[in-house]
Amino acid sequence: MGPRLKLFLPLLLFALLAITLFRGLGLDPGAMPSALLDRPLPAFSLPGLGRTDLLSEADVVGQAALLNVWATWCVSCRVEHPYLKQLAEQGVPIFGINYKDDDGAAQRWLDELGNPYRFNIADREGTLGLDLGVYGAPETYLLDTNGVVRYRHAGVVDEKVWQTILEPLYRELHKGSNAP
C-alpha cells in the first residue's frame, strides 16, 4: 500500500464502523430466536379452559396453526385481541395458551371480548410456557402440519406483523398440507 493510500485507512475504518453501527440501529434488540425453532412442540398434558378433559400436543397438531400465549393480566394481549378475532374469522386456526392466569378471569375475558381460539390450554403454573421458552405475553408460535415450531413472534401480532412475517410462512405451510 502506498503512503498516500495509507492516509485513507482511518477514513475507511470509520466508514466500516459507521455502516455496522447504522445497521445496528435498525435491529430489534429484543428479538430473540426461539430455541424451539424447527423442533416439535414439547409434550404436555394440561386441562382445557372451561373443559374437564386434559389436552395434549396431539390436540393441536394436524394443521398449520397459530399458538397464542395470552393472559388477562397482559395489557398488550388486549391490544392484540381484536386482530386475532379478525384472523380467526378469515379461517386461520388459533389455539390459545392461557398463561399463568385465573380461569374465571380468562373465561370472563373471552365472554366479553369474544373468542378467537379453537380452544384454550389452561397453563396456570406456566409449565408449558417454560417448556416453550415463553418469557412474556403475548407470544405467538406458528406450527406446521406436523406440530413443528416454524416461527415465534414475541409481542403483539398486528396487521403489519401478520402480513410481512407470519402470513407468507403460514400460506406456505398451509399450501404444503393441501398438496397430495
Partner 1 sequence: MTLLRLLFIAGLVLVAGRALALIETYEFSTPELEARYQQLSEELRCPKCQNQNIADSNAPIAQDLRRLLHQQLELGASDEEILNYMVARYGEFVRYRPRFGGATVALWLAPVLLLLAGIAVLLLTLRSRSKTAVSGTATLSAQEQARLRSLLEKAEQDS
Residues that bind partner 1 (CB under 8 A): 29-30, 32-36, 100, 126, 130-136
Looking at the Cβ atoms of 128 and 142, the one nearer to partner 1 is 128
- Give the count of beta carbons closer than 10 Å to the beta carbon of residue 80: 22
Q: Which three cell numbers stand for residue 57?
A: 400436543
Helix H or strand E encompassing 55: strand 54-56
- Residue 132: half-sphere exposure toward Cβ, Cα within 13 Å: 31
Cβ at position 99, least distance to partner 1 in Å:
10
Looking at the Cβ atoms of 8 and 135, the one nearer to partner 1 is 135
Cβ at position 90, least distance to partner 1 in Å:
31
β-bridge pairing 65-70 and 139-143: antiparallel
Cβ at position 74, least distance to partner 1 in Å:
10
Cβ at position 71, least distance to partner 1 in Å:
10
Query: Which residues 6+ apart lie within 8 Å of 108 measured at CB?
Result: 72
The C-alpha torsion from 153 through 110 and 113 to 101, rounded to 10°, is -60
Q: Which three cell numbers stand for residue 137?
A: 405475553
Cβ at position 129, least distance to partner 1 in Å:
8
